[in-house]
Amino acid sequence: MNPITAAEQIFNAGVDSVLPDRMIRNHVKISGSELNAGNITVTLNDINNIYVIGAGKAGAMMARETETILADRIAGGHVIVKYGSACKLNFIRMTEAGHPIPDSNGFAATAKILAIAADASENDLVICLLSGGGSALLADFPEGSSPEEMIMVNDLLIRSGADIREINAVRKHLSKIKGGHLAKTVYPATLVSLILSDVIGDPLDVIASGPTVPDTSTFDDALNVIENYHLTDSMPQKIMCFLKEGSRGIHPETPKYGDPAFEKT
């Protein structure tokens, strides 16, 4: 075998092994009355409803395979994917939205995901499918601001030269869903996250801006990113006001380790 053919086979085998649907199939299984997701086991007899939510560029294949496994056990759900990557689903709604800059579809679909999360009760199970691109596709804005201002914020951050950790530190502190806030909204329902990483080192609070895990960044970190990349004067005034108020404790920090919201996550 010549080196070119060998290299192609190695490359194709690597890609095949991490296709989103294959990853779900390898890690999520039904065994009798139990749902096994990695090292997590959920007794389905104790669950009233199963909802599937999420966002990311791999979301369509992840959602389709989740439907194949759970079928009509799924009571409903909503997943956001980038334009051109949607697929037909039977139990989960799917919305195509803007990436890497959010748009009106993303804002509307994110509101629907938050509504599903808020409606989940103590005996429900919420499965959250997250992959790269989720930060832009899960689009919302802080109180007193607007979608247009958040679109501007994302554009400024992406063009600034900041890395993904820095960009997401800002995004998380301008959101009601990122940075652990989704977990807080889902609680006290049981929350299982299936996360496909696109970030080196797999930091869960950075992938898709960590909507279901404790956040390690702060309002001060977000302000430092804006200052370090000379964006202070370019940012919308209402956005800067919100971040500064958060730094002074006027707005609550993102949920941290030890928050009760993560007890059933």
Asked if residue 16 has pLDDT above 90, the reply is no
Asked if residue 1 has pLDDT above 90, the reply is no
Per-residue pLDDT at 36: 96
Per-residue pLDDT at 15: 87
Alpha carbon distances (Å) from 174 to 76, 95, 152, 197 = 28, 22, 13, 22
Asked if residue 65 has pLDDT above 90, the reply is yes
Measured CA to CA, the distance from residue 237 to residue 41 in angstroms comes to 47
Asked if residue 223 has pLDDT above 90, the reply is yes
β pairing state of 34-37 and 40-43? antiparallel
Render pLDDT for 153-203 as a digit per residue (tens, 0 to 9).
999 999 999 999 999 999 999 999 999 999 999 999 999 999 999 888 999
Per-residue pLDDT at 80: 98
Per-residue pLDDT at 78: 98
Q: Is 196 helix (H, G, I), strand (E, B) or coil?
A: coil
For residue 89, the tally of other CB atoms under 10 A from its CB is 17
Largest CA-CA distance found in the chain, in angstroms, rounded:
65
* Mean model confidence pLDDT for the chain: 96
Per-residue pLDDT at 156: 98
**175, 145 Cβ separation under 8 angstroms:** no
Q: Which amino acid is at 213?
A: V
Q: 252: cis peptide before it, omega within 30°?
A: no
Render pLDDT for 76-134 as a digit per residue (tens, 0 to 9).
999 999 999 999 999 999 999 999 999 999 999 999 999 999 999 999 999 999 999 99
> What CATH class is the domain 20-262?
alpha beta
Per-residue pLDDT at 198: 86
Asked if residue 259 has pLDDT above 90, the reply is yes
Burial of 58 per CB tally in 10 Å (0-12, 13-18, 19+): buried
**46, 7 Cβ separation under 8 angstroms:** no
Measured CA to CA, the distance from residue 80 to residue 78 in angstroms comes to 7
pTM above 0.85, yes or no: yes
**Using alpha carbons only, what angle is made at residue 193 by residues 109 and 38, rounded to the nearest 5 degrees?**
150
Q: How confident is the model at residue 219 (pLDDT cuts 50, 70, 90)?
A: very high
Retrieve residue 261's tokens: 């919201």
Q: Measured between alpha carbons, how far apart are the two ends of the chain, in Å? A: 49
**130, 195 Cβ separation under 8 angstroms:** yes
- Residue 142 has φ and ψ, to the nearest 5°, of -75, 160
Sheet strands (E) in the chain: 28-31, 34-37, 40-43, 50-55, 74-82, 93-97, 125-130, 190-195
Measured CA to CA, the distance from residue 145 to residue 86 in angstroms comes to 30
CB contact set of 185 (below 8 Å; sequence gap of 6+): 114, 117, 118, 176, 177
Per-residue pLDDT at 246: 98
Asked if residue 18 has pLDDT above 90, the reply is no
